[in-house]
Amino acid sequence: MVDPYGSTRRFASLTRVLVTGGAGFIGSHVAQAFVKIGADVVCFDNLQMGKLENVPDGATLVRGDVKDVDQVVRVMRDIDVVIMCHGQVSVPVSTEQPLLDIDINVRGTLNVLEACRKARLERVVFAGSRSEYGEPKCLPVDEEHSVNPNSVYAASKAAASRYCLVYNMLYGLPTVILRLSNVYGPRAPYWARGSYAYLVWFVYLVLKGEPIEIFGDGEQVRDNVWIKDCVEAFVEASKNPMAIGQVFNICTGEGLSLKRVVQKISEQVGKEARIKYAPPRRGDVRQFVGSPEKAGKILDWKPRTTFDEGLRKTISWVKEEIRLGK
């Protein structure tokens, strides 16, 4: 059977992989990919944003919270590799509840890092964010660009990423940071308005015949990466010895404005979208296009799915969700 995630790397069945946030959007796809390549996978999730139905066949769910030190320590027993996909992902929520971001994105990540350090794990891969760069000084953004977050959410992700690098430098914990661009595809939390899943939310609204609210003029540019391409980067980062202590952009190197995204959705759906404009939101980045060059050189990773192809698959999934009344 062809691996839908594209990876040819195989794991021994005795390799135990823990995915924090493993019942969420990105985490569940990561868990599924590791199951398919032969790992023994544990999903650690409190199911507040994640869904039980997202946990892939062949993986074990352990209900728990990264904010609880004792739970984190217990679940770390006999684990070899940790993929950190937990997080509070909504910029508006972080603006209204900044301490929540600190508790989950920073303190929660530190809890996991400390448990990994004590357990002497083989590899720890952290899901960072392109938002850590803030408003880019130039495009495309490479990993040498300064980190200058301009939202509470971005600041929390930047702090967590920095702790990952410090744990590598100070304690020798083999950490890798993947700064993810706007990831889209099946299982994205389109109901969580203000999250990174804006594209899937737009698809849902067009299909339902409801207006799309765009904050600003719609000329904001985003670099959108298909979920299964993104997941392949996690698999490669978990084994490649050259990846340790490194930061990688996981992106396409191509940008689309929000207006253009809406237009493409309308074209594929065959239904005219209605746009309602609202004032710009605090903390939103105007333009982002990343450079995947470093990931290509070191991880041998590149995005393989065109935007039109990924959008077509996303629309099919959202249609099925609507049919099922979700």
Alpha-carbon gap, residue 308 to 267, rounded angstroms? 10
| 3-class DSSP state of 108 | helix
| 3-class DSSP state of 200 | helix
Closest CA to 302 of 252, 264, 258, 257: 252
- Please tell me the pTM assigned to this model: 0.93
Alpha-carbon gap, residue 7 to 9, rounded angstroms? 6
User: What pLDDT does 30 receive?
Assistant: 98
Closest CA to 112 of 160, 56, 171, 158: 160
User: Does the annotation mark 133 as catalytic?
Assistant: no
Tokens of 150: 């301009």
Closest CA to 112 of 104, 247, 55: 104
Cβ neighbour number for residue 320 with a 10 Å cutoff: 11
Q: Which of 5, 133, 153, 184 is catalytic?
A: 153
- Burial class for 122, CB neighbours closer than 10 Å (0-12, 13-18, 19+): middle
- Output the tens digit of pLDDT for each of the chain's 326 residues: 234 444 444 455 568 999 999 999 999 999 999 999 999 999 999 999 899 999 999 999 999 999 999 999 999 999 999 999 999 887 778 888 889 889 999 999 999 999 999 999 999 999 999 999 999 999 999 999 999 999 999 999 999 999 999 999 999 999 999 999 999 999 998 766 555 688 999 999 999 999 999 999 999 999 999 999 999 999 999 999 999 999 999 999 999 999 999 999 999 999 999 999 999 988 789 999 999 999 999 999 999 999 999 999 999 999 999 887 77
CATH number of 16-184+226-252+286-304: 3.40.50.720
User: What pLDDT does 259 receive?
Assistant: 97
- Quick check: 109 and 66 in contact, CB under 8 A? yes
Q: Where are the domains of the chain?
A: 16-184+226-252+286-304
Query: Which residues, at least 6 apart from 261, have a Cβ–Cβ distance to it below 8 Å?
Result: 199, 202, 222, 224
The beta strand positions in the chain, using DSSP E, are: 16-20, 40-45, 60-63, 81-84, 123-129, 175-180, 182-184, 212-215, 221-222, 224-226, 247-250, 256-257, 275-278
User: What pLDDT does 98 receive?
Assistant: 87
User: What pLDDT does 5 receive?
Assistant: 44
Alpha-carbon gap, residue 207 to 187, rounded angstroms? 17
User: What CA–CA distances, in Å, run from 87 to 73, 157, 204?
Assistant: 18, 9, 23
Rg (CA), the chain: 19
User: What CA–CA distances, in Å, run from 229 to 29, 43, 165?
Assistant: 10, 20, 24
Alpha-carbon gap, residue 82 to 19, rounded angstroms? 6
